[in-house]
Amino acid sequence: MKKLFALALLALLGSAQANDPLQKVRQFRQTHEHELLTEFEQLVAIPNVAADTANLRRTAGFIQEMMQRRGIKTQLLAAPTAGVPPVVFGEVRTPGATRTVIFYAHYDGQPVNPAQWREGLSPFKPTLATGPLDRGGQLATRPAPGQPLSPDWRLYARSASDDKAGVMTILTGYQALVASKLKPKVNIKFFFEGEEERGSPHLAEILARHKALLASDVWVICDGPVHQSGRKQVVFGARGDVNMSLKVYGPRRPLHSGHYGNWVPNPAMELSRLLASMTDSTGRVRVAGFYDDVTPLTPAEKTALAQVPNLDKTIQQELGFARPYGTGQSLVELLNQPSLNINGMQSANVGAQAANVIPTVATAVLDLRLVPGNDAQRQVQKVIRHIERQGYHVTRDEPTDAERAQFPRLVRVQPETGYNAQRTRLDLPIARQVVAAVQTTTPDRVVLLPTMGGSLPLYVFEQQLQAQTITVPVANYDNNQHAENENIRLGNLWDGIETMAAIMLLK
């Protein structure tokens, strides 16, 4: 009796269990999950950091094999610039279909520092654990084939979440449909980029070169995490992003801190003073004009934001800090503002290698997140002007002897290209259809987010192709994306397959 009631409730809420096609997709996954996990482990075992072009090409080749296994016609789209990791493109035409959905994910990953990974883990040696290792999970070996895999297990590896999970769920969503003899209702295209974590510097030229090939009604971007509550979410935009590195100069050679301390300027101290000048104690950026050109949210976006479940207190407790930045705003409200973050900083050594020296240089890497209205290079220029106002002479190269002699405060600033933010309208018909498709896969109400905090080169699609983009993430929120110990929860991988398949069944 109880069971029947529960089933009825589920059917009412979202009809996931009642949806025949998706049940077949689930059955396919359940029957094949060991093989799928093996294939995914092979995919994440190939190193994919920006500098390693040989392995990025191996990754692209492996993805082509995955597509061929699934009967997808594939080709590599090279950038006009030499040495750029190619886009892996694929296409499936559906007879009679009038619309085309193009699925995007990226196969490159963030840089790694293997020394920072937890003992027993290595960025490109995928490793299973019974749960999150920082909260009780244990390293584990896979159950024998035929034994079920717990959805709460994690696979640890660089890009397990960001964003090889995107590649895997898109391709396997399609595979499950075909294996279940379910016909997609739309033409499907696949677009897997290899430079996203570098800021997609060649995406625009690739899009421009292949406009006809890439024609579509909507780009579905599979990247980023689902909501912290575990609920699926559909995201209508992303912040832009641009990185810049700052290098402050001290003496030409490292000096004994006793024989010269108090007299020779210490670049670590000067960099600290410079960075500290950039924000106040609430994290608000003090760079002049930093918030000036932000486009206000529409009423529909404000409403959507208000409906996003607020788990701030829970997340804060889990992350172990007592007071968030801001003056009482929620996480999602603050993500609709531009930000200035220190990604890392270094001067000489700490720990066992620390020595009593005045360092020669001190370096920090900043990332600036952008919201609609901001322009990446304009934002960089505001920061540079701020640095100059602190008395610095800004150089693009190593300072010359003459510059060292002339300027008491010397900093080398190297901005990257970056890209701007983008936001798709919430009331766009195709957007509503994608949301409805995702809703068929889950009894829980799908979270609609006007913008995600992370960045995706959505702006480039809009600019080059006048394309509409909608982001449908699959990864668990606690995936250590971008950092050491990146991981994916297996249940998120499996759920993602259903999500992608559902979108392919869009009429």
Could you tell me the smallest distance in angstroms from the CB atom of residue 112 to a second copy? 7
Site for a second copy in 181-240 (CB under 8 A): 224-225, 238-239
Among 30, 138, 341, 381, binds a second copy (CB under 8 A): 341
Read out DSSP for 12-61?
HHT-TTT-HHHHHHHHHHHHHHHHHHHHHHHHHTS---TT-HHHHHHHHH
Could you tell me the smallest distance in angstroms from the CB atom of residue 70 to a second copy? 30
What distance in Å separates the CA atoms of residue 499 and residue 444, rounded to the nearest whole number? Answer: 13
Dig out the tokens for 241 from the structure. 């992003």
Site for a second copy in 55-84 (CB under 8 A): none
Could you tell me the smallest distance in angstroms from the CB atom of residue 4 to a second copy? 40
Among 25, 87, 255, 435, binds a second copy (CB under 8 A): 255
User: What sign does the dihedral 242-57-479-446 (CA atoms) show?
Assistant: positive
Could you tell me the smallest distance in angstroms from the CB atom of residue 47 to a second copy? 13
Site for a second copy in 437-496 (CB under 8 A): 452-455, 477-478, 480-485
Q: Are β-strands 447-449 and 100-106 bridged in parallel, bridged antiparallel, or unpaired? A: unpaired
Closest to a second copy by CB, 124 vs 260, is 260
Among 298, 346, 395, 417, binds a second copy (CB under 8 A): 346
Report if residue 54 touches a second copy, rule: CB under 8 A. Answer: no
Size of the site for a second copy (CB under 8 A): 104
What distance in Å separates the CA atoms of residue 122 and residue 47, rounded to the nearest whole number? Answer: 11
Closest to a second copy by CB, 116 vs 303, is 116
Using a 10 angstrom Cβ sphere, with 0-12 exposed, 13-18 middle and 19 or more buried, the burial of residue 145 is exposed
Span interacting with a second copy, options 186-194, 206-214, 355-363, 425-433, rule CB under 8 A: 355-363
Could you tell me the smallest distance in angstroms from the CB atom of residue 484 to a second copy? 7
Could you tell me the smallest distance in angstroms from the CB atom of residue 481 to a second copy? 5
Site for a second copy in 386-425 (CB under 8 A): 401, 404-408, 410
What distance in Å separates the CA atoms of residue 462 and residue 236, rounded to the nearest whole number? Answer: 13
Closest to a second copy by CB, 155 vs 176, is 155
* Best CA proximity match to 205, nearest among 77, 107, 332, 330: 77
C-alpha distances in angstroms, 126 versus 51, 52, 129, 170? 21, 18, 10, 20
Among 344, 377, 385, 429, binds a second copy (CB under 8 A): 344
Read out DSSP for 106-164?
E-------GGGSPTT-BTTB-EEESS-GGGT--EEPPPPTTSPPPTT-EEESTTTTTTH
Among 211, 273, 286, 425, binds a second copy (CB under 8 A): 273
What distance in Å separates the CA atoms of residue 165 and residue 156, rounded to the nearest whole number? Answer: 12
Report if residue 317 touches a second copy, rule: CB under 8 A. Answer: yes
Report if residue 365 touches a second copy, rule: CB under 8 A. Answer: yes
Closest to a second copy by CB, 230 vs 265, is 265
Closest to a second copy by CB, 66 vs 368, is 368
Neighbours of 384 (CB within 10 A): 18
Q: Which residue has the tokens 């987010």?
A: 449
Could you tell me the smallest distance in angstroms from the CB atom of residue 241 to a second copy? 7
